[in-house]
């Protein structure tokens, strides 16, 4: 071999290498030798190693001699050298003998590697690894490592804690897998462990273990493998107890499913609304049924769209109060609009759902159609009012009876007393006359009261009656009066206008109102009575209007329909007509109102 | 014991007749006038004031009457300047408790008498009136 080529190859070697003869003088060296040992760029060939490195001690000199003598190899993977300038170097070194063609020792070859930087790096890595492990410990994440060279399984303290084993417990691969819950859990972990061993793939899996104390726990196991030259030398990974998380997740899912089930199947209309912009995010079938819309038509539109305009401010204010924690929940009765355009009165209950931080995320609104209840309430109220009115009428009637009958009976009593005291025959006859007139008045009163009782107790059958025809019939009966007082009666309605009424009552009402108007006509102008009728909101409205002397409403308005109330001192006024009229109208479920002005006329409005 | 001048305001002719008769037979008053409603009585009061004529000492007033009833008459009467000179008794066959309660609200109504008015009741009423008038 050409020595110069050989030397050139040595000069360019990537490691620090030097060839020395038996006298330890340099034969060849690499450029790296010079740079690693910070030697001056001068030729050192032929120079003694001990001349170049004067600090080399006796110990090394003996070592060199031993190698030259016995041909053994000395090496150290890492040794600290303190240089003459005081700097430290970690050196990985090896010193071997060289042999000549005859097999005799011809010198030494030294190879060294400055591993100071590598070691520094290594220690940094170790430190970081330790930090990582510490962090893992703190995070309750355990680690494990299966060394396939030593066949040892290592568990970190946290891993041991999760398994609930003693800190001195020594795991092996079989017991490690046995801790997994028998069945699928063990199968999965065995399979993944084998696959990772074969391919080096990384796996992450959540499985159940049974601890040494027999407790079931959920763990997340991560495994990695290190493969060198196609052979797995170690497997390692992390091990984390996720029981709490899994349980709370499970509970959350369960709660969510339960809520969803309730939401879907509820007989109460429900919707989930964004509390900020009031857009509807979820609806259940019941609310769709209630509003008569497909869910797609309700979702994403604003709640405002379905609320009666007049009701919206109070809903909006409630939501604002709820968001500001002024109230715990919303409870309102509002009108919601159906697809048909009709409004239903609903009881609305709203609850705010917060996230973990207490920020409102959803407004859950329950909607109950209470129109049925409201209607029943209305009916009940109407019925109560009816009963109250009946009661009042009954009481009123009792007072009328007592008043009228008592005044007659007291007259009898006093007259009889006077009769006994009276000595004069003519005066006695006078008293007898008064007694007989009192008696006939009593009979008349009783007959009136009887009529009133009849009206208030008889069950009324309503049948459709041609109103115009009936008015003319009554007018025929009193045609003599109409003619005598020159009364002009206008009947303004269609011939076929019908009203649901009791024939006898309707006739009595018409008769009373007509004779009333005639009786209280103005003497100086021609009497005029106008009768109109029309339908209003499914009911019949009948109006009697005259140009008579009228009634001072301020003075007598409250007495018009009272029994035995007369206002004009008219001799043939008996104060029973309007009382009966009102009773008859009310008995048929109608109402009667009066408008009047003194010297202008009177107008009666009847609704049936 | 006798009242000088008595008014009866009632539309019941038989009642006015009987009271009048009892007052006369028992010499309880020197003079009686009757009115069949409140308006007539009110007009007579005004007429007497204008002409400086004597007022009645007592008025026996019915409640239920046409035109101006007893209450309406009292509403007018309460405005009458010389009302202090006249004692008003309400006389009614009404047993409606509301009428009694309402009567209490009129300070010008001195008492409420329920029909029938017997001679004893009438004697008591006159005695009451005389004590108010300080007639021995």
CA angle A124, A127, A131 (to 5 degrees): 135
Asked whether this chain's domains A140-246 and A459-607 adopt the same fold, the reply is no
Q: Is the Cβ of B20 closer than 8 Å to some Cβ of chain A?
A: no
- Give the CB-side neighbour count of residue A360, counting CA atoms within 13 A: 22
Task: Please report the pLDDT score of residue A138 as a whole number.
Answer: 66
Question: Quick check: A347 and A333 in contact, CB under 8 A?
Answer: yes
Task: With CB atoms and an 8 Å threshold, state whether B64 touches A568.
Answer: no
Interface of B with A in 37-56 (CB under 8 A): 37, 39
Q: Which two tokens stand for residue A439?
A: 């008696």
pLDDT, residue A1, reads: 42
Interface test with A, best of B116, B117, B119, B122 (most A CBs within 10 A): B116
Contact B17 A407 (CB under 8 A): no
The mean pLDDT value for B90-103 works out to: 82
* pTM over cut 0.80: no
The beta-carbon neighbor of B116 closest among A414, A569, A575 is A414
Residue from the list A411, A438, A569 with its beta carbon closest to the beta carbon of B67: A569
Mutate one of A401, A405, A407 to test the B interface: name it (highest B CB count within 10 A).
Answer: A407
Distance in angstroms (rounded) separating the CA atoms of residues A596 and A568: 14
pLDDT in the model for residue B67: 79
Q: How far is B63 from chain A (nearest CA, A)?
A: 11
Q: How far, in Å, CA of A212 to CA of A166, rounded? A: 9
B116–A409 CB contact, under 8 Å:
yes
Buried b (16+ CB within 10 A) or exposed e, A129-145: eeeebeebbeeebbbbb
Residues A257-316 pLDDT 10s: 887 888 888 888 889 998 888 899 888 888 898 888 888 888 878 889 899 999 999 999
Predicted confidence (pLDDT) at residue B59 exceeds the cutoff of 90: yes
Q: How far apart are CA A30 and CA A19, in angstroms?
A: 9
**In 10 A of CB A33, how many CB atoms?**
23
Q: Which residues contact B9 (CB under 8 A, 6 or more apart)?
A: B34, B35, B36, B37, B38, B40, B41, B59, B60, B61, B62, B65, B70, B73
Region of poorest pLDDT, from A46-50, A215-219, A404-408, A531-535: A404-408
d(CA A306, CA A343): 9
B76 at the A interface (CB within 8 A)? no
Query: In chain A, what are the domain boundaries?
Result: 3-115, 140-246, 267-368, 375-454, 459-607
Cβ–Cβ gap B14/A437 under 8 Å? yes
CB nearest A399 (choices: B22, B68, B96): B96
Residue B59 to chain A, least CA–CA distance (Å): 19
**What is the residue-averaged pLDDT of chain A?**
84
Asked if residues A503 and A472 have their Cβ atoms less than 8 Å apart, the reply is no
Look at the domain A459-607 and name its fold. Answer: Heat Shock Protein 90 (3.30.565)
For the structural domain made of A140-246, what CATH number should be given? 3.30.450.20
To the nearest 10°, the Cα dihedral for A79, A84, A87, A92?
-20
Q: Is A255 exposed, middle or buried (0-12, 13-18, 19+ CB in 10 A)?
A: exposed
Question: CB contact, 8 Å: B96 with chain A?
Answer: yes
Domains recognised in chain B with CATH numbers: 5-133 (3.40.50.2300)
| Alpha carbon separation from A566 to A504, A557, B17, B103 (Å, rounded) | 25, 11, 22, 22
- What distance in Å separates the CA atoms of residue B130 and residue B127, rounded to the nearest whole number? 5
Fold observed for domain A267-368? Beta-Lactamase (3.30.450)
The rounded percent of chain B whose pLDDT value lies above 90 is 12
DSSP string, A21-47: ETT-BEEEE-HHHHHHTT--SS--TT-
A566 pLDDT more than 60:
no
CA distance B53 to chain A (A): 27
Could you confirm whether domain A3-115 is CATH 3.90.550.10? Answer: no
Average pLDDT value for residue range A452-460: 75
Closest CA to A16 of A115, A88, A107: A115
What is the C-alpha separation between A250 and B83, in angstroms, rounded?
Answer: 93
In which band, very low, low, confident or very high, does the pLDDT at A6 lie, cut at 50, 70 and 90?
A: low
CA separation for the pair A281, A272 (Å, rounded): 6
Of A411, A413, A557, A560, which to mutate for an interface test with B (greatest number of B Cβ within 10 Å)?
A411
- Whether the complex's predicted ipTM is more than 0.85 is answered with no
pLDDT band at A219 (very low <50, low <70, confident <90, very high): very high
- A436 to chain B: nearest residue by CA? B14
- Counting residues of chain A whose pLDDT is more than 70, the rounded percentage is 93
Contact call for B116 and A410, based on CB within 8 A: yes
Say if residues A601 and A547 touch (Cβ distance below 8 Å): yes
B94 contacts A402? CB cut-off 8 A: yes
Q: Chains A, B: CB contacts under 8 A, how many?
A: 75
Please tell me the distance from the alpha carbon of residue A387 to that of residue B51, in angstroms, as a whole number. 55
**Residue B18 with chain A: CB contacts under 8 Å:** 411, 414-415, 418
Would you call B37 and A403 a contact, using CB atoms and an 8 Å cutoff?
Answer: no
Flag if B15 and A407 touch (Cβ within 8 Å).
Answer: yes
Instruction: Please answer whether residues A219 and A240 qualify as being in contact, where contact means their C-beta atoms are separated by less than 8 angstroms.
Output: yes
């Amino acid at each position: 071999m050409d020595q110069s080529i050989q030397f050139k190859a040595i000069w360019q070697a990537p490691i620090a290498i030097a060839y020395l003869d038996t006298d330890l003088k340099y034969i060849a060296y690499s450029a790296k030798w010079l740079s690693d040992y910070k030697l001056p760029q001068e030729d050192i060939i032929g120079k003694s190693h001990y001349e170049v490195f004067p600090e080399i001690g006796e110990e090394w000199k003996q070592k060199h001699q031993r190698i030259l003598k016995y041909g053994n190899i000395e090496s150290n993977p890492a040794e600290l050298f303190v240089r003459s300038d005081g700097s430290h170097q970690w050196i990985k070194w090896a010193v071997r003998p060289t042999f000549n063609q005859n097999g005799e020792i011809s010198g030494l070859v030294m190879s060294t590697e400055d591993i100071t930087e590598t070691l520094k790096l290594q220690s940094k890595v170790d430190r970081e690894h330790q930090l990582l492990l510490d962090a893992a410990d703190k995070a309750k994440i355990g680690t494990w490592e299966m060394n396939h060279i030593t066949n040892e399984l290592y568990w970190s303290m946290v891993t041991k804690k999760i398994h609930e084993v003693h800190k001195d417990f020594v795991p092996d691969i079989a017991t490690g897998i046995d801790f997994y819950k028998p069945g699928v859990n063990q199968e999965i972990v065995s399979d993944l462990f084998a696959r990772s061993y074969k391919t080096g793939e990384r796996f992450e899996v959540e499985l159940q273990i049974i601890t040494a104390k027999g407790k079931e726990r959920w763990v997340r196991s991560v495994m990695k493998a290190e493969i060198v030259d196609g052979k797995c030398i170690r497997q390692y990974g992390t091990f984390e107890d996720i029981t709490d998380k899994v349980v709370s997740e499970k509970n959350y899912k369960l709660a969510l499913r339960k809520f969803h089930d309730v939401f879907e199947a509820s007989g109460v209309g429900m919707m989930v609304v964004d509390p900020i912009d009031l857009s509807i995010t979820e609806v259940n079938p019941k609310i769709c049924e209630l509003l008569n819309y497909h869910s797609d038509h309700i979702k994403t539109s604003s709640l405002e769209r379905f609320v009666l305009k007049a009701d919206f401010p109070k809903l909006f204010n409630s939501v604002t109060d709820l968001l500001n924690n002024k109230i715990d929940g919303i409870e309102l009765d509002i009108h919601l609009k159906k697809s048909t355009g009709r409004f239903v009165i609903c009881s609305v209950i709203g609850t705010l759902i917060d996230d973990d931080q207490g920020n409102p995320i959803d407004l859950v609104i329950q909607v109950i159609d209470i129109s049925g209840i409201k209607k029943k309430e209305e009916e009940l109220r109407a019925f109560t009012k009816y009963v109250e009115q009946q009661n009042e009428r009954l009481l009123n009637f009792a007072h009328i009876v007592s008043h009228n009958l008592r005044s007659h009976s007291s007259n009898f009593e006093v007259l009889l007393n006077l009769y006994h005291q009276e000595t004069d025959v003519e005066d006695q006859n006078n008293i007898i006359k008064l007694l007989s007139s009192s008696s006939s008045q009593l009979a008349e009163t009783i007959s009136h009261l009887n009529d009133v009782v009849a009206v208030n107790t008889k069950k009324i059958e309503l049948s459709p009656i041609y109103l115009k025809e009936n008015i003319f019939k009554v007018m025929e009966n009193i045609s003599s009066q109409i003619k005598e007082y020159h009364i002009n009666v206008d009947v303004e309605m269609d011939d076929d206008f019908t009203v649901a009424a009791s024939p006898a009552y309707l006739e009595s009402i018409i008769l009373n109102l007509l004779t009333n108007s005639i009786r209280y006509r103005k003497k100086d102008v021609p009497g005029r009575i106008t009768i109109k009728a029309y339908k209003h909101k499914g009911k019949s409205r009948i109006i009697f209007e005259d140009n008579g002397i009228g009634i001072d409403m301020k003075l007598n308005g409250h007495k018009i329909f009272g029994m035995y109330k007369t206002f004009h001192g008219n001799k043939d006024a008996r104060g029973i007509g309007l009382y009966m009229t009102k009773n008859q109208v009310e008995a048929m479920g109608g109402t009667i109102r009066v408008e009047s002005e003194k010297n202008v006329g009177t107008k009666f409005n009847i609704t049936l | 014991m006798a009242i000088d001048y008595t008014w009866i305001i009632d539309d019941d002719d038989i009642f006015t007749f009987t009271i009048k008769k009892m007052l006369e037979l028992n010499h309880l008053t020197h003079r009686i006038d009757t009115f069949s409603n409140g308006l007539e009585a009110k007009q007579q009061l005004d007429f007497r004031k204008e002409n400086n004529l004597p007022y009645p000492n007592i008025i026996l007033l019915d409640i239920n009457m046409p035109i101006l009833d007893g209450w309406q008459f009292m509403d007018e009467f309460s405005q009458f300047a010389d009302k202090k000179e006249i004692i008003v008794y309400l006389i009614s066959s009404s047993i409606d408790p509301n009428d009694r309660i309402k009567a209490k609200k009129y300070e010008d109504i001195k008492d409420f008498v329920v029909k029938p008015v017997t001679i004893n009741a009438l004697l008591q009423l006159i005695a009451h009136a005389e004590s108010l008038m300080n007639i021995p």
